[in-house]
Amino acid sequence: MRKVCVVSGGITKFAKANLLTQEAMVKDAVDYALTDLDGRLDYKDIQSTICTYFSDHFNSQLLFDSLTQDYLAMCPRPSMRIEGGGATGGLGIRAGYMDVASGLSDLCLVYGFEKMSEVSTAKGNEFIALASDTDFDYPVGGFYSGYYATMAMRHMHEFGTTAEQFALIAVKNYDNAFHNRWAQKHERWTLEGVLKAPMIATPLTRPMVCVMSDGAACLILCTEEWAKKLRPKGDYAVITGVGCGTDTMRLGDRPHGDVIPLPGEDPAKYSYLKGRWPGLHCFRAAREAARQAYQMAGIRDPLHEIDFAEVHDAYASSELQTYEDLGFCLYGQGGRWVERGGPYLGGELPVNPSGGLIACGHPVGATGIMQGVFTLWQLQEAMARHCSDPAQGIDGGKIQVAGARRGLCHSHAGTGTYITVNIFERPQ
């Protein structure tokens, strides 16, 4: 398969409410990405598009992808809409990768958006909850914060993880987002403040839960030939690992069995789990996606071979669980890894240097692509240039991972029903 490169990205400032139309938000993100290429890419050079958005319910406009394809002046070029809950953006990157790698397109614009503000928060939660089993789970009062809370409680029971450890992750992400002008929230939180905040579903308090948001994001994927033309200084990224995993729709149906080992791992190292995996405490789909992506990228020691990760932290607890699924630490050690400083800027493997979903916001269809944009900007050492706002005293350089060569973006749907892992690295 052909090499696929990422040359530019664009996002809108994620906000509780953006009163522009969805199509205008998308165009703003696309214009940002094109402007960053200094006119080297002409609109007519885009050969195909991938459009990602999650919910028809939020807009009550079906075929929004046709509307945006048209609005972007992309007709009659080929396009496809990709949807997969919270993993929508990550799946979009996967689809764009497939488009270019297969030879069907030399240059693909992957764009995503979501506008969640036209309904109340409670109604929004209801729509998202409709992405769980509507015969058996939703009617009992299941909604996403509730499902994740039950998972967090089980992780605490299995491994002794604490609410404080989850809270540390929320504080970390808010602190990082403070230096990111695109983030929806610029707030300072203390550990105590997070723990004392209003409870959503035990043990998750309000600041441990991501916010609904309006936003758009895009990435331009292309062949290496195009990448060298568009980034003559060689500041493009290569997608070296692509993985996708799935799991049961109902959390209660998750099996109990043996861990899927990562490439190079001896399965015996997981014998302490006693065949109780993934159950409700681990994400099998994340482990499977990581296995595929690491295999493709030749990664045998993720903690030391990956420089940073943008991980889907819809909940501070799921970020902790994900450290373990991605092999940054052993299953059950996530809490201790946080306390040792592992995922912090300057730590062993900075996770969510951008501030993640918790602080940047989660406009579902755009999120996975937003992560890809931040990943690209890290590798281009361009965080200061893109994320600063001197007028507000924001210095994006503070969240630049120095010397970053390889980054991982992880996108996650439902209770882990779809999970994608995409690995970007600087060219050799």
Partner 1 sequence: MTHVYGVRPLQVGRHYEIDYVHSYGEVSDFFLGLKDHKLMATRCERCGATWLPPRRDCGRCGGKTVWFEAPQEGRVHTFSVLHFAAEAFLADLPFVLAYVELPGIDTVFLTRIKGCKPEEVYIGMPVRARFRRLVDWTPNDVWFEPV
Residues of this chain that interact with partner 1 (CB under 8 A) are 19-20, 60, 120, 122-123, 125-126, 129, 133, 135-143, 145-146, 149-154, 157, 198-204, 248, 250-253, 255-256, 280
Residue 21 or residue 66: which is nearer to partner 1 going by CB? 21
Residue 39 or residue 198: which is nearer to partner 1 going by CB? 198
Rounded to a whole number of angstroms, the minimum distance from the CB of residue 277 to partner 1 is 14
Rounded to a whole number of angstroms, the minimum distance from the CB of residue 296 to partner 1 is 28
- DSSP letter (8 states) at residue 210: P
Residue 20 or residue 382: which is nearer to partner 1 going by CB? 20
Question: Who contacts 212 (Cβ-Cβ below 8 Å, separation ≥6)?
Answer: 16, 116, 117, 121, 124, 361, 362, 363
Residue 315 or residue 424: which is nearer to partner 1 going by CB? 315
- DSSP letter (8 states) at residue 66: H
Rounded to a whole number of angstroms, the minimum distance from the CB of residue 84 to partner 1 is 19
Instruction: Report DSSP letters for 269-284, one per residue.
Output: GGGGGTT-EETTTS-H
3-class state of residue 219 by DSSP: strand
Residue 139 or residue 267: which is nearer to partner 1 going by CB? 139
CA distances from 354 to 7, 139, 366 (A): 19, 36, 15
Q: Cis before residue 390, ω within 30 degrees of 0?
A: no
CA distances from 376 to 218, 309, 320 (A): 11, 11, 23
Under a CB-based contact definition with an 8 Å cutoff, are residues 128 and 417 in contact? no
* Tokens coding 334: 């996530």
Residue 251 or residue 316: which is nearer to partner 1 going by CB? 251
Q: Which residue bears the tokens 């509307």?
A: 67
3-class state of residue 313 by DSSP: coil
Rounded to a whole number of angstroms, the minimum distance from the CB of residue 312 to partner 1 is 20
Rounded to a whole number of angstroms, the minimum distance from the CB of residue 361 to partner 1 is 18
Rounded to a whole number of angstroms, the minimum distance from the CB of residue 342 to partner 1 is 26
Question: Who contacts 207 (Cβ-Cβ below 8 Å, separation ≥6)?
Answer: 170, 174, 187, 189, 193, 194, 197, 358
Rounded to a whole number of angstroms, the minimum distance from the CB of residue 318 to partner 1 is 14
Q: Which helix (H) or strand (E) holds 97?
A: helix 88-101
CA distances from 291 to 69, 265, 414 (A): 34, 10, 20
Residue 200 or residue 309: which is nearer to partner 1 going by CB? 200
